[in-house]
Chains A and B, each alone.
Chain A
Amino acid sequence: DAKTTQPTSMDCAEGRAANLPCNHSTISGNEYVYWYRQIHSQGPQYIIHGLKNNETNEMASLIITEDRKSSTLILPHATLRDTAVYYCIVRVNDYKLSFGAGTTVTVRA
């Protein structure tokens, strides 16, 4: 699987958009980009995934650059409950999903 690079931590103001970057410069053409988050010590929660096109769901938007070497997860209106560790994962098959250290996002009132 392609290696991903994320900032260790970032702060965000409540009500503002949170933009979480992820670099995956060695991504292959058939590898999807997945985002999960982990709130405190709970089990990780799926957020969104994409291959080439930008994606949006009720939780977030995923913007993937044209060369697919990086992506950005956008939380449009961050709330205190969005404070969590966010994981960017690139995988080619269904069986092995590797989580790095992720980005610790702190939403401040």
Chain B
Amino acid sequence: NAGVTQTPKFQVLKTGQSMTLQCAQDMNHEYMSWYRQDPGMGLRLIHYSVGAGITDQGEVPNGYNVSRSTTEDFPLRLLSAAPSQTSVYFCASRPAGAGELFFGEGSRLTVL
């Protein structure tokens, strides 16, 4: 199993550009989520999904959109990138019920 796969690993954008961070998991996990991590800080929850077709907002959802059309994929969209969105983004998944989160390796985004 590949686990949780994030692409791209690195991306540089200009202010106002749009892009999608991809996240895929091959463990048939129902729950998926996106976090961002700024320097010297912990992770903050952006959006999460408890199953295909179901998404909800986390702690810092503004400026981001998500969708969950399949169990495997949970893309994060930035419609109009801003310098404040410069961060490292982590995708995570886990099966239904309590248990550990499995994290991807992160996507480092710089917005100029």
Interface residue ranges, A against B (CB under 8 Å): 32, 36, 41-46, 49, 87, 94-102
Contacts and interface: CB of A to CB of B under 8 A. Distances in A.
A38 B58 CA distance: 21
Given A94-B97, A95-B56, A102-B42, A44 B48 contact: no
Interface residues of B, number: 29
A41 B106 CA distance: 8
A101 B40 contact: yes
A32 B101 CA distance: 14
Contacts of B41: 101
Given A42-B105, A43-B106, A44-B103, A97 B45 contact: yes
Interface in B27-48: 31, 33, 35, 40-45, 48
Interface of B: 4, 31, 33, 35, 40-45, 48, 50, 56, 58-59, 88, 90, 92, 94, 97-98, 100-106, 108
Most buried by B among A42, A94, A102: A94
A41 B59 contact: no
Contacts of A87: 42
